Amino acid sequence: MMRSLSPRRTTLAALLLIAGRPALAQPADAAWQALTEGAIVLFRHAIAPGGGDPPGMRLGDCSTQRNLDDEGRAQARRIGAAFRDRGIAVGAVLASAWCRAVDTAELAFPDQMRVEPAFNSFFGARQEAESRTVAARRLLLAWDGHGALFVATHQVNITALTGIFPASGEGVVLRRDGEMLVVVGRIRP
């Protein structure tokens, strides 16, 4: 036997249906809001099919690397558009020297990108994990908060800094709290 809902419960149920599930949306909303306040976002480069790099990969020679495909290039453009649509000022754009990270940053924010070796992948050079992570953390903690800091890097780097395994084209938003970096949320434009 079904019970009917009281008018108050019916109204509450209707509001919940209309409002959706705000608890699920909240972390992304908080992350976007933090970016308007000068937070940091670490983006895993956009879609570049495969894993790792081919044997003989050389920095500075994109023909030897795993690169963005058409979907990845479109994804990178959407990342930049999401920032512009939300009116988020970007104070700096940093990228790993890998072509897929450079292209993600350049397609998202044309003519603003600067290569920063602290964010270079250590997937094939695990012995460099600690030194790169320390250097990256130092740069992130030094961010002055004048606009958002956008970093295009790699899964291994983001995971080392945050403990999060992001998808391609996903951003992890951080804010500084003293000498700590605190995860605010994740975004997928």
Taking only the tens place, the pLDDT of each residue in 67-93 is 999 999 999 999 999 999 999 999 999
Task: List the chain residues with pLDDT less than 50.
Answer: 1-25
Q: Which CATH number fits domain 27-187: 3.30.1360.10, 3.30.420.40, 3.90.1150.10, 3.40.50.1240?
A: 3.40.50.1240
Residue 134: CB partners within 8 Å, gap ≥ 6?
none
The pLDDT assigned to 91 comes to 97
Per-residue pLDDT at 52: 82
The reported pTM is: 0.84
C-alpha span between 42 and 149 (Å, rounded): 8
Domain ranges of the chain: 27-187
Q: Of 27, 22, 103, nearest to 69 (Cα)?
A: 103
CA distance 121 to 89: 27
Burial of 108 (0-12, 13-18, 19+ CB in 10 A): buried
Alpha carbons 53 and 76: distance in angstroms, whole number: 20
Which residue do the tokens 């790792």 mark? 52
Q: What is the dihedral of CA 20, 23, 28, 31, to 10 degrees?
A: 140
How far, in Å, CA of 2 to CA of 182, rounded? 47
Produce one character per residue of 11-39: b if its CB has 16 or more CB atoms within 10 Å, e if not.
eeeeeeeeeeeeeeeeebebbbebbeebb
Q: Which of 114, 98, 184, 187 is nearest to 151 (CA)?
A: 114
